[in-house]
A = this chain, B = another copy of it.
Amino acid sequence: MELIIHSGTVITMKDGRVIRDGAVVVEGQAIVDVGETSEILRKYPRGYERINARGKVVVPGLINTHQHAAMSLLRGYADDLPLQEWLEKWIWPIEGHMTAHDIYVGALLTAVESALGGTTTVNTMYHYTPDENEAKAFVDVGLRAVVGHVCFSWRKEGDKNALEDLAKNWHNKADGLVRVSVDPHAPYTVDPEYMRELKELCGELNEKYGSEKAPIIWHVHVAETSDEPEKIRRAFNKNLKGGVMEYLDSLGVLDSRVVAAHCVALTDNDIAVMKLRGVKASHNPISNLKLASGISPVPKMLEQGVTVSLGTDSPCSNNSADMFEVMKVAALLHKGVNRNPTLISAAQVLNMATVEGARALSWDSEIGSIEVGKKADLAIIGFVKPHLCPVHNEVSHLVYAAKATDVETVIVNGKIVVENRQLKTVKGERVMKMAEKAKTRLLERLKSNVK
C-alpha cells in the first residue's frame, strides 16, 4: 500500500518532534518519509492514496504490554470480591471450562476493542491451543501481537510441547505481525528448577525460530502483591533473602528480553537488579487498583532508568482494553499517592505507551515511533471534539482528555485496520455475536459442570 497521511499534527515520539501541519508517507509495511505537508506533497505529487488528517493528531499505535486477551468473555463476570474468592470461586472454575474456540473468540473481541482504541500491538499471556488460539485472533483482526503460552509447575510436559508448537507455527509469522513469548506464570506457581528450564527452553526456541532482530521474549508476572515472597516460601519451601526480582536473578533467568508485569512490591534492590539486567516493566495501574494489589513504584523505576511500559491487564481486572484510560490513570496515580503533581508528565506517559512499550517487547527497531524505516503502525485521532476543545497542548489532551473512541483510523504494518471507526478486517457485529454465544455456552457448561 502507498499512502500519505497529511495535514495533521504528527507526534513522532522521536526526539520530541511534533510536526504541526505534518505528513507521513507509507510504502508497503513501512514509513518511508515524515515531514511537513507542503514539502511531502511536493515530493510525492501523485499515485499515493491520501488521508486528510486536518483537525486530527497522528501518533504511533499504542502498545499494550500486558494482556490476557482471551479473558474478555469474563468481562464483568465477577468484580469487587476478595482476591482469593475471586480467583478460586469465580475465575478459575469458569476458565476451566473454556475451550480453544472460547480462547479464540475472547482474543478476537479483545483485538477488535484494542484496534478501535488505537492499540496496534498487544502482549498477551494465555493458554496456547493448537487449532484456534490468540495468535490467529490477532492476525484475523490485523493487529500486531506477542502471543505467549503460560506455564505452571503442575503441567510441565504439556507446556513444553505447547511452546514448541507455538514458536514453530507463529513466531515471526503473518508478515511479521506475530511474535511469540515464553510465559512462566509467576515465581510462586513456577518452581525454581522449572523457571531455569523455561529460560533454557526460551534460548533453544530462539536458536530454532528467533533472531537477534526478532527474538522470542519472556513474559512473567512479578511482584504483583506484597505477599509474593510468602507465597514462594509456601509453594517451594524457599525463604527469600531479598525481593522477588532478586530471587529471579539468583536463578539466572533475568535479561533484557524479560517483560515483568506489575512490579508492584519491589525493593530498591529489585529495581537495581532490573536496571542491571535490563528487565522491562509493564505497569498496570488500573488492574493493580481494582485487585487492590498495591501501587507500583514507577517514579523510582524511571529515576533508575528502568524501561516502564503500560498494560491494561485482562478484561477481568480492568475491565477494558483501553490504553487511553491506562495512560490517564498512570499520569494521575503517582502524583496522588506521592503527593507530587509534577511526577509522571503527560509526555512521559505517552512515551511509556509507545516508545517504551516497543522497547519492553524488544521490538523497538520496528515500532514505537513515527520515523523512516519503522513499520507503519499509526493511530489517527480526531481532535475536533468538545472534550478536546480548545487545544493548548496536544500531548496533554492525548493523556488527560482523549478517549479510545476518538481514534478514527488505525494502520498496522502499513494496512488500514480501522477507517473512520469502522473495522476493515473483521465484522464487529459478528465478533460480538460470537462472544455472546460463547459466553452463554460457557456459563451453561459451568452450571452443568461439563468440560
Chain A contacts to B: CB under 8 angstroms: 72-77, 79-83, 86, 109, 112-113, 116-117, 286, 288-295, 318-322, 325, 328-329, 331-333, 335-346, 384-387, 389-393, 396-397, 400-401, 403-405, 428-429, 431-432, 435-436, 438-439
Q: Report Cα–Cα, A113/B117, bound state, in Å.
A: 20
B-chain residues with CB within 8 Å of residue A331 when the two chains form the complex = 80, 290
Cβ A80 vs Cβ B320 within 8 A: no
Q: Kindly identify which residue among B333, B344, B389 contacts A432, using a CB–CB cutoff of 8 Å.
A: B389
User: Within 8 Å CB of A117, what residues of B?
Assistant: 387
A80 touches B392 (CB 8 A): no
Task: Given A76-B400, A329-B332, check contact A389 B342 (CB 8 Å).
Answer: no
Complexed CA–CA distance, A113 and B295 (Å): 32
Residues of chain B within 8 A (CB-CB) of A345 are 79-80
Closest Cβ–Cβ distance, residue A222 to chain B (whole Å):
18
Copy number in the complex reads 2
Q: A290-B341, A292-B336, A346-B80 are in contact. Are A321 and B109 (CB under 8 A)?
A: no
8 Å CB contact of A332 from B113, B290, B321, B384:
B290
Q: What are 21 pairs between A and B in contact, CB < 8 Å?
A: A72-B389, A75-B390, A75-B392, A76-B393, A76-B396, A77-B393, A79-B345, A79-B346, A79-B393, A79-B396, A80-B335, A80-B345, A116-B387, A289-B333, A290-B332, A291-B335, A319-B396, A322-B403, A329-B332, A390-B438, A403-B403
Partner of A81, one of B82, B332, B342, B390: B342
A332 B289 Cβ-Cβ under 8 A: yes
- How far is B330's CA from A24's CA once the two chains are assembled, in angstroms? 40
CA distance A97 to B438 in the complex (A): 58
How far is A209 from B393 in the complex, measured between Cα atoms in Å? Answer: 43
A77 to B395, CA, bound (A): 11
B386, A109: Cβ atoms under 8 Å? yes
| Residue on B nearest A396 in the bound complex, by CB | B76
Q: How far is the CB of A12 from chain B (nearest CB, A)?
A: 20
- Neighbouring B residues of A319 by C-beta, 8 Å: 396-397, 400-401
Q: Are A435 and B79 in contact (CB under 8 A)?
A: no
A77: B residues at CB distance < 8 A? 392-393
A94 CB to nearest chain B CB (Å): 10
Smallest distance from the beta carbon of A291 to chain B beta carbons, Å? Answer: 6
Q: Which 4 A-B pairs have the closest CB atoms?
A: A289-B336, A289-B332, A76-B396, A390-B439
The answer on a CB contact under 8 Å between A341 and B86 is yes
Q: Contacts of A75 on B, CB cut-off 8 Å?
A: 389-390, 392, 397, 401
Give chain B residues whose Cβ lies under 8 Å from the Cβ of A393: 76-77, 79
Closest chain B residue to A389 by CB distance? Answer: B432
A321 contacts across to B, CB distance below 8 A:
387
Contact call B390/A436, Cβ cutoff below 8 A: yes
A82 to B342, Cβ gap below 8 A?
A: yes
Q: Within the complex, what minimum Cβ distance (angstroms) separates A343 from chain B?
A: 8
In the docked arrangement, what's the CA distance between A79 and B386, Å? 19
Contacts of A320 in B (CB 8 A): 387, 400-401
CA distance A113 to B75 in the complex (A): 28
Instruction: Check A295–B336 contact: CB distance below 8 A.
Output: yes
Q: Which of B290, B342, B405 contacts A403 (CB 8 A)?
A: B405
- Chain B residue numbers with a CB within 8 Å of A294 are 336, 339
